[in-house]
Structure 1
Amino acid sequence: MLNTENTQESQDSQNPQEAQTSDTSDTSSERADDHTAGDRPSPMEVLRQARDQLAELTGMAAESVSSFEQTEEGWTLEIEVLELQRVPDTMSLMASYRVDLDATGMLTGYRRVRRYERGRADTRRSGGQ
């Protein structure tokens, strides 16, 4: 019968330098995720907060973020959501929501900017074409 208790501790004692390195990297990654109230959140934190807050308000899960911009007031994102599922899936109704967040990542407003079938190409022109 094999003794599997303290396996990680045994490995760490055999490679003390590796154990110290992994402990240090864990601490630094935790520090990167934490920010004080005066700091601006990282772009990934903002993206996660925007998706979560929009889903909570609308009841629709975000499928993707198609636009992401830092502004003087905070952040502006365009988030794609599934509004109405149909069969086949290419006929499902999608919507793009413009989501505005303040500098701390709290949602300050949102609005639907367009609605389209998933299988349709975008007919909007961009860049003055």
Structure 2
Amino acid sequence: MGEHKGRTIPAAVAVRRAVAQLRELVGHEPESVIAVRRASHGWEMDIEVVELARTPESSSVLASYHVELDADGGLSGYHRTRRYTREQVDQPAGPVLHHR
């Protein structure tokens, strides 16, 4: 399959390709890559995008996109997983335990 003959492109190359392709498809500037995972088909990653810049910046609207790349770095799928303002903070998944 492609020039890599069964090997997957390096993570840094995959990230650069994913950011460029997502920018072109959604028309907004990716701000950060928040997760990268090697997958059986290539790479999966989550990328934050500024969808609506506002002043103050804390009120800007961001979105998280889940992006999938094939082994050659071609975008095989993406979808928005979350939309939120910059000032929103994720809540912990469960109770926080404190040790003394």
| TM-score, structure 1 normalization | 0.67
Question: Could you tell me which amino acid in structure 2 is paired with residue 103 of structure 1?
Answer: A
Structure 2: state its 5+ residue gaps: 95-100
Q: CA deviation at 1:124?
A: 6.0
> Over the residues paired in the alignment, what is the CA RMSD in angstroms?
1.2
Q: Match for residue 78 of structure 1?
A: 46
User: Distance in 2 between the 1:56 and 1:73 partners?
Assistant: 22
User: Distance in 2 between the 1:83 and 1:41 partners?
Assistant: 29
Q: Give yes or no for contact 2:4–2:71 (8 Å, CA) kept in 1.
A: no
Q: CA deviation at 1:123?
A: 2.8
Which structure features the higher share of strand residues?
2
Runs of 4+ in 1 over 6 A off after TM superposition: none
The structure showing larger relative contact order (alpha-carbon pairs under 8 Å, at least 6 residues apart) is 2
Identity of aligned residues (%): 41
Match of 1:66 among 31, 34, 38: 34
User: Distance in 2 between the 1:124 and 1:96 partners?
Assistant: 18
- Greater Cα radius of gyration, structure 1 or 2: 1
After superposition, residues 12-91 of structure 1 pair within 5 angstroms as 36-38=3-5, 39-91=7-59
Question: Could you tell me which amino acid in structure 1 is paired with residue 67 of structure 2?
Answer: V
Q: Is 1:106 aligned to residue 74 of structure 2?
A: yes
Query: What secondary structure sits across from 1:108 in the alignment?
Result: strand
Which structure features the higher share of helix residues?
1
Q: CA deviation at 1:37?
A: 3.5
